[in-house]
Structure 1
Amino acid sequence: MNNKQIVFTSPWKAEIRQKRLETPALGPDEAWVRKICTLVSPGTELACLSGNESWFRMPGIPGYASVSEVLQTGDNVEGFAAGDIVFHYGDHSAYSVVSTRHVWLKVPPSLPLPWVPFARMAAVAMTSLRVSQIELGDTVAVTGLGLVGNMASQLARLQGATVIGIDLSEQRLQLAKACGADHVLLGGKGELRDEVMRITNGQGVSALIEATGVPKVAVDHLPLVGRFGEVILLGSPRGDFQTNVTELLNRIHLDGSYGNLTFKGAHEWRYPVLPDRFAKHSLARNCGIILELMADGRLRIEPLISHVLKPEEAEQAYQGLRNDKDRYNGVLFDWR
């Protein structure tokens, strides 16, 4: 049996490779799975493909969002059997041996299988809600409406907030609107703050969820945040940015109309992987809730799927995500 894999071989080069695979000898807490669909995480995977992520070594197999069929389980794996459909953090390969002591969840039977890997990106977005004090009646701005930002917008609305989506792409703005954003505003315009103040009756937003990972975007949008507001750093900051930080620090320190701000990091790994008696939230719990929201129709996934491609089309996928961001957004590889 051959295991097909997508491999990043050098900066901006993705290849499909075949590796001989024998039936594995499983550990007691492991399972052998056959992938159905895997989802590209544009921010992380493009950063890896650029060669600028120190933790990712080339040649390497990217990816961390999968829906798979269970082929075999280890002796200690209870409640799962061959033929079950599961969500897990799997890479872009046809077959994998995975630990069931990580995020490992049965898929609700009514859920369309291509939706399932989006649970990973939605769980990333959910961290912004977990760390925040967003409440019913608040107004939240989300900068960057890619997969993570779009789902952060949807989740903030489920939390009871009025959502203002901000992006440089008209297409992403319309997609966010179709997924329920209350207001969408084109970024980079001088009147952006005036529009936000009009929407918020001059108060500014209660929270700014920064989902682009571009440091300048976070700093430039601080004037949108009202007194005692929060700035939630959801996108992982990347790239160099030089500025005088005094104004930023004054917005945190001073008691003015737009002061006393709180900055919070919202990286998903701040929570334990599995439920823990000393922590309310975990990655597994968040993902389970996301799957339920999908199954109930409260989280919209179908509009986010832009392409379903064969693994052999990996080069097209990554070039599209890099150079044609208006059309390439939610890109799935279908391994069936």
Structure 2
Amino acid sequence: MDGWQNRMRDEAKATGQQLKRKNRMRARRLVCKAIRQIEWESFEIPEVPAPHEVVVKSACSLISAGTELAMYSGSHIGFSGPDPPQFPIDMGYALAGAVQAVGCKVTEWAEGDRVVVYASHGDWALCDVRTTKMWRLPPDVTLEQGALAVMGGISAVGVRQGRVDLGETVIVLGLGLIGQFAAQLSRLSGARPVIGVDLLPNRVRIAGASGVHALNPEQSDVRQTVDDITGGHMAEVVIEATGNPHVVAQALDLAGDGGRVVLLGSPRGTAEIDLYRAVHHKGVSLIGAHARVSGHPHTTQDPWTRERNLDLVLQLFADGSLQSEGLISHRIQPDDVGETYEMLVERPNSFLGVLIEWTS
């Protein structure tokens, strides 16, 4: 356990005592008031949490370059629908920190527990354990990995929807955080080779370091390379992780007969596809993999719930099977959030993982 984690555990116990002595404490969380308008909203942490509440002191939170930025920029598909999102919108859903205080009916959490929480960006999180998803971090998992694990859990949905099997060729288009984890999880599922494609050299390098056959399409003919590697059979599974609807046609082209093309990157918008040649004639399956498809109760037919997927990602971090080195490109302070969101919209290729650090 690193020094940061030890400090968080000590601070958790100390601040838990402070909460009991003070009447209330002011905290702040990030909200989007309108398109491209974010601000910090003040809220109160109670002296004593309600019976089912847990108070978490934040260590770091991860900015989502997908859904979160789409909400901020107004590009989310919901804005053009009949029931658009209503402002204000809480921003963020991947926060790691330490439990500071627990309500009288909370039995599964204790002061000092290191956790990852589905909570908005903020210096504190007040969580009702009956409705808020929380996971305990294994001892060998860092707080940074805890925040990243939320993205890994989303990637796991794409790998499961694609039914990746031993020895299959898997192509991942787009090597952002979601694509990086999708490629690694495909390898862990037994796919060989796993081919990752991205235009950005740094992302190609990071994927290559984790065992992925990584290609830059400006330097390699991707289709010809896949044809050569597979002896003309092409890929059994292609995972589209860019979120660009125009890439779907390429994904279908790279799939072999009977292949599965997984839309993991939430493509927002339309695309022109020759359905006969790209889908019908080859018998290709086009599969949606929005994270919500794992938001179901445990069943014998599909036991892989959102909770189990994220549990697995944490276990894979703990035993070293899943790599996180290089995935955080920027670490920022809370006061730099506004500028960072704008840069993420204007220059998204300059970033990979962006972490807001709440402790010095």
Please tell me whether residue 224 in structure 1 is matched to residue 248 in structure 2: no
Cα deviation for residue 74 of structure 1 reads 2.9
Most deviating of 154-163 and 267-276:
267-276
Q: How many residues align?
A: 327
Cα 1:222–1:240 change in 2 (3 A) is closer
In the superposition, the TM-score normalised over structure 1's length comes to: 0.90
- Cα distance in 2 for partners of 1:140, 1:154 equals 11
Question: For the Cα contact (< 8 Å) 1:37–1:117, is it kept in 2?
Answer: yes
- Cα distance in 1 for partners of 2:69, 2:243 equals 13
Give runs of aligned pairs for residues 1-336 of structure 1, distance below 5 A.
1-15=25-39, 17-23=40-46, 26-53=49-76, 54=79, 56-101=85-130, 102-161=132-191, 162-181=193-212, 183-187=213-217, 191-241=221-271, 243=272, 245=273, 247-254=274-281, 259-272=282-295, 275-276=298-299, 279-336=302-359
Question: For the Cα contact (< 8 Å) 2:252–2:279, is it kept in 1?
Answer: no
Cα 1:108–1:20 change in 2 (3 A) is same
Q: Which runs of 5+ in 1 are unaligned?
A: none
Most deviating of 207-216 and 269-278:
269-278
Question: For the Cα contact (< 8 Å) 1:87–1:105, is it kept in 2?
Answer: yes
Structure holding more helix per residue: 2
- Cα distance in 1 for partners of 2:338, 2:108 equals 38
Cα 1:129–1:332 change in 2 (3 A) is same
Most deviating of 111-120 and 5-14:
5-14
Q: Secondary structure at the match of 1:221?
A: helix
Cα 1:30–1:163 change in 2 (3 A) is same
- Cα distance in 2 for partners of 1:179, 1:190 equals 20
What CA RMSD, in Å, does the superposition of the two structures yield over aligned residues? 2.1
Name the % identity. Answer: 35
- Give the residue type in structure 2 aligned to 1:13: Q
Cα deviation for residue 117 of structure 1 reads 0.6
Cα 1:211–1:115 change in 2 (3 A) is same
Most deviating of 87-96 and 68-77:
68-77
Runs of 4+ in structure 1 deviating by more than 6 angstroms, as ranges, are: none
Most deviating of 87-96 and 120-129:
87-96
- Cα distance in 1 for partners of 2:327, 2:164 equals 24
In the superposition, the TM-score normalised over structure 2's length comes to: 0.84
